[in-house]
Amino acid sequence: MALARHFPRPLKAGARVAVVAPASPPQNVQALEVGIARLEKAGLQIERGRTLTAQRGYLAGSDVLRAEELNHYFRRPDIHAIFCARGGYGCLRLLPLLDYEAAIRMPKLIIGYSDITALQLAVLAQAGVPGLSGPMVAVDWPVLDTETEARFWELAQGATPDPLPLVGSAKLHVLRPGDAKGPLVGGTLSVLVRLLGTPYLPDLTGSILFLEDVGEAPYRIDGMLAQLRLAGVLDRLAGVVLGQFTKSDPVSETPSLTLGEVLEDYFGQASYPVVVGFPYGHQPQKNTLPIGTQACLQAHGDTATLRLLEPVVR
């Protein structure tokens, strides 16, 4: 079961944190600076990784540079958390190079989403350390609204909102009813499925899986869900929380199933609760979600509630 065992410390004002780019480099230096300024204003002391200014194609420097930087911060007792500047692509390349023992000795929150999903799931699978699927420094922090920021800090400081207040007064839609209790695990679907068949995907048996994605046409989402089903993952879940699938329009003029039809095909007959419309994904306004801590999903009639049962930091 994908339940965290080693917990980071609460992220308080005055804490020193690292800002790094383990996947692609920040696209906009100015946005990165605005994001860092927001974190400083919130009271954090920022240490900038060398990857913030490195580049090799779509990668923020070589694999060795990016992996060694993460390992360096994993090992530093004075670093409380690792904020990722941006996703893009590149974390998959690092997974065999990381010092998971150091992650166990000094558990730290890794904060980000999109490609960062690979890093967070690998650290949960290999080290039992939870993560926070939330705003990134060069992408979201420059434009973060107060509600999205408040929801982030609550979790990073150890609150267990019960029920979790949904950003923007979002309303969940019940695709399948039921009650689930289990570790909340997930991230970006296209990245998560890249871990199937490898030692870096946590055992999702009994989990409440949350998913989102961007820029993937319905037939691609279909293929990803097919792989999850063929791998036996969908049968073993306790529940599913579907976030936003943005820019998921069908390819040009070819006929297509809609995204809704695809989701219905895979989840419409599920024996566990499935909800859609969760405010989470590649959009500025969103809830942050913990990865690897106990939660409870209740979906009945037209009402659904997600409750967090334990803090992600201790």
Positions in the binding site for a copy of itself (CB under 8 A): 25, 27, 55-59, 88-89, 92-93, 95-96, 194-201, 218-219, 222-224, 226-227, 230-232, 250, 254-258, 261
Distance (Å, rounded) from C-alpha 198 to C-alpha 51? 26
Whole-angstrom distance, CA of residue 140 vs CA of residue 282: 9
| Three-state secondary-structure class, residue 137 | coil
- The whole-angstrom separation of Cα 180 and Cα 267 is 15
* Min separation Cβ 210 and a copy of itself, Å: 20
Residue with tokens 């007959």: 269
Provide φ and ψ at 34, rounded to 5°.
Answer: -65, -40
CB of 260 to a copy of itself, least distance (A): 11
Q: Which of 68, 80, 114, 207 is catalytic?
A: 114
- Residue closer to a copy of itself by CB (options 166, 191) is 191
Distance CA 103, CA 101 (A): 5
| Residue 114 is among the residues annotated as catalytic for this protein | yes
Locate tokens 């990134």: which residue? Answer: 136
The answer to whether 50 and 115 are in contact (CB under 8 A) is: no
Closer CB to a copy of itself, 8 or 218, in the complex: 218
For a copy of itself, give the closer residue by CB, 246 or 256.
256
Omega of the bond leading into 25 within 30 degrees of 0 (cis)? no
CB nearer to a copy of itself: pick between 67 and 295:
67
Indicate which residue of 68, 69, 212, 216 is catalytic. Answer: 212
Shortest Å distance, C-beta 197 to a copy of itself:
3
In order, the DSSP letters of 237-253 are: -SEEEEEEEET-PPPTT
Output the DSSP codes for 102-122. HHHHS--EEEE-TTHHHHHHH
Active site residue 282: yes
Comparison of 43 and 199: residue with beta carbon closer to a copy of itself:
199
Least Å distance, CB 115 to a copy of itself, is 9
Instruction: Please identify, using beta-carbon distances, which residue of 27 and 303 lies nearer to a copy of itself.
Output: 27
**Min CB(211)–a copy of itself separation in Å:** 17
Nearest distance in Å: CB 64, a copy of itself: 12
Question: Strands across the sheet with 178-188, in order?
Answer: 173-176, 274-276, 239-246, 208-214, 178-188, 293-300, 303-308
What token pair was written down for 263? 């989701």
Active-site residues, by number, are 114, 212, 282
